[in-house]
């Protein structure tokens, strides 16, 4: 081999990526012992020495935070949840006020983002938005914690989860949505959204709705819960399933505004008047919610407070300060889709 050996040379001989070589040579627990020993042996054969000065340079602060969006199903093919787009302004402003740049990246859930950003030193900390199936996502969060990565995520907030989470009070939001519908005389409330542990935010919204109904002596009908992921297409298909089921319902609580907008399309196609025949409430308060016909009543997640809490949370981690999991309040935004005027 001509010239001085590099970590890329070791990676090629070991059949691994260059970041894996870097992790192995600094003793990262994310690399298996077998792989680490193979890499160390090749490095020794090539008389490879770690450049301590370059390593120290990489470990210095970049004054940059990384914002990682994850793929989602959207009608405009951006793949980004509209609620997160609303949050983006708050995140960028807060970073600027704190003297940090914001590096924005779009990641697929199948990629090794949980490793790549730790090794690249592109940023001092990571903010995570979106995750898909939480049961699969949790494994990568645990790896981030094991690697000592500074990260905060937006999502289902509960003590005992890997890392630090900032989230909305989904359970309380579900209570408020159902109570509002019942105050307008609705007694057969359908829920559209995957209410399983794979989507714990939706699950909490459904649980809140059931709790509120139980408080009024109403037992929520499980046949009125229809699974749907967070997209207009899923909301449309789920509403059609609900309509064709023959089950009686006079209201729909959708797990998100995008689901609600899809459900409204299905109701219109079946000549079901909103809100006379069926009232509907969404969740998130994305910009499109006020532009539907009729305008959509929804539970608002405060994207301004969310952005500030996420940035401040990851900065505290960088300073080695404790960051507790936080739950932000939800707020009912009343428009015409629920029957109010």
CATH architecture of the region 170-301: 3-Layer(aba) Sandwich (3.40)
Supply the pLDDT for residue 73: 52
What residues does each domain of the chain span? 7-50, 64-168+303-329, 170-301
Supply the pLDDT for residue 202: 95
Supply the pLDDT for residue 252: 98
DSSP assignment of 158-207 equals -TTSSSEEEEE-HHHHHHHHHHHHHHTT---EEEES--STTSHHHHHHHH
Per the CB < 8 A criterion, the answer to whether 283 and 195 are in contact is no
Rounded to whole angstroms, the Cα distance separating 225 from 210 reads: 11
With residues binned 3-state (H G I as helix, E B as strand, rest as coil), the percentages for the chain, rounded to 5, are 45, 15, 35
Residues of the chain with pLDDT under 70: 1-3, 27-30, 50-60, 71-79, 107-121, 341
Q: CATH topology of 64-168+303-329 equal to that of 170-301?
A: yes
CA distances from 204 to 85, 167, 287 (A): 23, 12, 23
Beta strands 64-70; 101-107: pairing state: parallel
Supply the pLDDT for residue 91: 95
Q: Hey, is 67 helix, strand or coil?
A: strand
CB atoms under 10 Å from CB of 179, counted, come to 18
Tokens, residue 235? 């909301």
Supply the pLDDT for residue 134: 80
Supply the pTM of this predicted model.
Answer: 0.78
Supply the pLDDT for residue 328: 94
Rounded to whole angstroms, the Cα distance separating 287 from 83 reads: 8
- pLDDT per position as a tens digit, 205-258: 999 999 999 999 999 999 999 999 988 999 999 999 999 999 999 999 999 999
- Answer yes or no: CATH 3.40.50.40 is held by domain 7-50: no
Rounded to whole angstroms, the Cα distance separating 220 from 218 reads: 6
Tokens, residue 167? 């989230």
For Cα atoms 153, 154, 157, give the angle at the middle one, nearest 5 degrees.
Answer: 95
Supply the pLDDT for residue 18: 82
Helix (H) or strand (E) run with residue 9 in it: helix 7-14
Supply the pLDDT for residue 227: 96
Supply the pLDDT for residue 130: 79
CATH architecture of the region 64-168+303-329: 3-Layer(aba) Sandwich (3.40)
């Amino acid at each position: 081999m001509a010239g001085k050996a590099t970590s890329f040379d070791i990676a090629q001989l070991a059949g691994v990526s260059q970041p894996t070589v870097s992790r192995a040579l600094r003793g990262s627990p994310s690399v298996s012992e077998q792989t680490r020993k193979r890499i160390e042996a090749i490095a020794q054969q090539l008389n490879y020495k770690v450049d301590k000065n370059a390593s120290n340079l990489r470990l210095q602060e970049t004054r940059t935070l990384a914002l990682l969006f994850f793929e989602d199903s959207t009608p405009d093919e951006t793949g980004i949840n509209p609620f997160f787009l609303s949050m983006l302004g708050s995140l960028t402003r807060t970073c600027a006020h704190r003297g940090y740049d914001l590096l924005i990246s779009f990641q697929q859930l199948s990629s090794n983002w949980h490793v790549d950003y730790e090794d690249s030193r592109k940023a001092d900390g990571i903010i995570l938005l979106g995750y898909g199936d939480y049961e699969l996502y949790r494994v990568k969060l645990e790896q981030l914690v094991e690697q000592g990565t500074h990260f905060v995520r937006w999502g289902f907030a509960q003590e005992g989860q890997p890392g630090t989470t900032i989230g909305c009070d989904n359970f309380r939001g579900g209570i408020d949505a159902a109570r509002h519908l019942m105050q307008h005389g609705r007694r057969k409330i359908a829920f559209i959204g995957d209410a399983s542990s794979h989507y714990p935010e939706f699950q909490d919204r459904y649980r809140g709705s059931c709790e509120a109904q139980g408080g009024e002596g109403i037992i929520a009908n499980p046949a009125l819960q229809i699974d749907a992921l967070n997209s207009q297409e899923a909301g449309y298909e789920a509403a059609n399933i609900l309509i064709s089921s023959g089950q009686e319902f006079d209201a729909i609580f959708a797990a998100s505004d995008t689901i609600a907008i899809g459900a409204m399309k299905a109701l219109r196609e079946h000549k079901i008047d909103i809100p006379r025949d069926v009232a509907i409430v969404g969740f998130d308060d994305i910009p499109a919610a006020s532009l539907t016909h009729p305008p959509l009543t929804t539970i608002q997640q405060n994207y301004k407070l969310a952005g500030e809490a996420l940035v401040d949370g990851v900065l505290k981690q960088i300073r080695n300060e404790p960051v507790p999991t936080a739950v932000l309040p939800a707020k009912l935004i009343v428009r015409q889709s629920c029957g109010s005027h």
